[in-house]
Chain A
Amino acid sequence: MNVYADNAATTAVSDAAVAAMLPCFQEFYGNPSSLYTTGQLAAEKLAAAREVFARGLNAQPREITFTSGGSEADNQALRSGAAMGARKGKKHIISTKFEHHAILHTLQALEKEGYEVTLLDIPPDGVVTAQQVRDAIRPDTCLVSIMFANNEIGTVQPIGEIGDVCREAGVLFHTDAVQAAGHLAIDVDALHVDMLSMSAHKFHGPKGVGVLYARRGIALENVIYGGAQERGKRAGTENVPGICGAAAAFAEACANLEKNAAYVTPMRDKLIAGLSAIPHSILNGDPVRRLPGNVNFCFEGIEGESLLLLLDAKGIAASSGSACTSGSLDPSHVLLALGRPHEVAHGSLRLSLSEYNKPEEVDYILEVLPGIIQYLRDMSPVWDELEKGQRPHLI
């Protein structure tokens, strides 16, 4: 059986998205900036796509900017919020230790440019509190950026409460909603979100399309300079096929939000219950306040990459926060921020489901996984020492 359980990495493109893209290649292939009919037909497609995102987020079309992906949207949001702050002499930014690298590395770049960054600690349940944000806000704070849902452990942050705190303090609030968009209801107005990033390929749209929502009045800083596309804030001929595919996927996701969650959540919970039965395993992140499809575990005594390879040999595609899979010496910064020791974080496994998965696939994972873990533990000198009491069990 082949099981794709890495939907947090990327998703299959939906039929509706493909159908929306295809005419854009040979029929509506004009440049939306051209004044003749072929160009204007493409411009209409673009406008319709912008409407879809505006509607889905409860925003205005002019507040939607298309980018090359979630990372570009994150870069542009942070640079814009930072520049607006600097103009008022405010150069302090608040974020968290478990953001995506598109946020963390942009913040590192801003630090080199003279900004001060506070990264909030991650509580053991993987959910940051509004109180932490309130306590960190200073008179010179210009921007708060906190992810809607974590990409590794799937925990959903109290975005509305944090939005209230930021609004009250007069601080701009950005959220990286790359993992949440298309999976959780998002109303930027009700949540008091000022900027929001998303990426189409996480909800069955194509790769290479991102969306940046920026509330009216926010002066976006260019990351890409050139032509006057996207109201002059993002140069480059628009990726019309990709944007149309993204809009179709987003419309589909928004229309089926509750249905999909009701279908995927029980599969997630079955996996969590089944994997919890493996001795010396631990669920990462709150069991309830997490994305409908996210399961993330650590298994003591084994290393994640070898686990992934053996799962792949059984037809199961998953991911791990082990150092070996990232190519760096350190395991996942998310798991370390959550307080997992290095040796435990190396043995992590993320299974992320979507509405394309079937209940029998979950049964298959639960059938195969315990044996693989036992096999690796039997081979592991660390497990040997743990079992003999020469090394204390950490989980």
Chain B
Amino acid sequence: MALYSDKVMDHFQNPRNVGKMEDADGIGEVGNAKCGDIMRMYIKVDPETQVITDVKFNTFGCGSAIATSSMATELIKGKPVSEALKLSNKAVVEALDGLPAHKIHCSVLAEEAVRAAVKDYYDKNGIPYGDELMACDGHCETCGHEHE
């Protein structure tokens, strides 16, 4: 059978870094309940090194929404913020050994949740950033930005 790969099922059933973070340096939330997916990502950043020392997530959504959130947190934990910003949805999909075609949007949400959390961190700390962080609210219909 298997709608999902073993990796997806593992991250869905044993999600990494799930939970809230009370003292987060940045919080990003994308998606909306009406569409059936919301991801909220919390990051803790070392001000000296700009390294993401801790990350947590809360997700409302399907199995792949939970699995992509979990994988995204693993991929950015311990990485510099600048590198987390380069996380692509494609990298999340590959790390999960693939997703069904109609679930690719979940990986896009995961990518956008990371960017939203970094943007929030930059805003709170007065760190300037370029346009690429400005636009996305996780609503693919209104954006048109291409993801692989």
By a beta-carbon cutoff of 8 Å, the part of chain A in contact with chain B is 301-306, 309-310, 313, 322-325, 327, 329, 331, 341-343, 346, 379-384, 391
Cβ contact within 8 Å between A382 and B33: yes
Contact of A324 with B62 at beta-carbon distance under 8 Å, contacts A313-B13, A346-B33, A382-B38 already known: yes
Contact-size category for B: 20 to 34
- Interface positions, chain B 45-87, Cβ under 8 Å from A, are 58-63, 65-66
Cβ contact within 8 Å between B36 and A322: yes
Query: Can you list 5 A-B contacts (CB < 8 A)?
Result: A309-B13, A309-B63, A324-B61, A327-B102, A381-B58
Cβ contact within 8 Å between A331 and B63: no
- Interface positions, chain B 11-53, Cβ under 8 Å from A, are 12-13, 15, 18, 20, 29, 33-40
- A residues within 8 A CB of B35? 323, 329, 342
Cβ contact within 8 Å between B20 and A380: no
Bound-state Cα–Cα, A342 to B37, Å: 11
Cβ contact within 8 Å between B66 and A379: yes
Cβ contact within 8 Å between B59 and A380: yes
Cβ contact within 8 Å between A379 and B58: yes
Cβ contact within 8 Å between B60 and A301: yes
- B residues within 8 A CB of A384? 20, 40, 58
Cβ contact within 8 Å between A306 and B66: yes
Cβ contact within 8 Å between B60 and A322: no
Bound-state Cα–Cα, A301 to B33, Å: 9
- B residues within 8 A CB of A327? 102
Cβ contact within 8 Å between B60 and A380: yes
Contact of A381 with B62 at beta-carbon distance under 8 Å, contacts A313-B13, A343-B33, A346-B33 already known: no
Given A303-B61, A306-B65, A380-B58, 14 further pairs, Cβ under 8 A: A302-B60, A305-B63, A306-B12, A306-B61, A309-B12, A325-B62, A341-B34, A342-B35, A346-B36, A379-B59, A379-B60, A381-B29, A382-B60, A384-B58
Bound-state Cα–Cα, A302 to B36, Å: 9
CB distance from A347 to the nearest CB of B (A): 9
CB distance from A322 to the nearest CB of B (A): 6
Cβ contact within 8 Å between A381 and B36: no
Contact of A381 with B59 at beta-carbon distance under 8 Å, contacts A306-B12, A327-B102, A342-B34 already known: yes
Bound-state Cα–Cα, A382 to B58, Å: 9
Bound-state Cα–Cα, A329 to B32, Å: 12
Query: Looking at the complex, which one of A309, A323, A379, A391 makes contact with B36 (CB distance below 8 Å)?
Result: A323
Query: Looking at the complex, which one of B9, B13, B15, B60 makes contact with A381 (CB distance below 8 Å)?
Result: B60
CB distance from A337 to the nearest CB of B (A): 17
Cβ contact within 8 Å between A303 and B62: yes
Bound-state Cα–Cα, A302 to B61, Å: 7
Bound-state Cα–Cα, A310 to B29, Å: 24
- B residues within 8 A CB of A305? 62-63
Bound-state Cα–Cα, A324 to B39, Å: 15
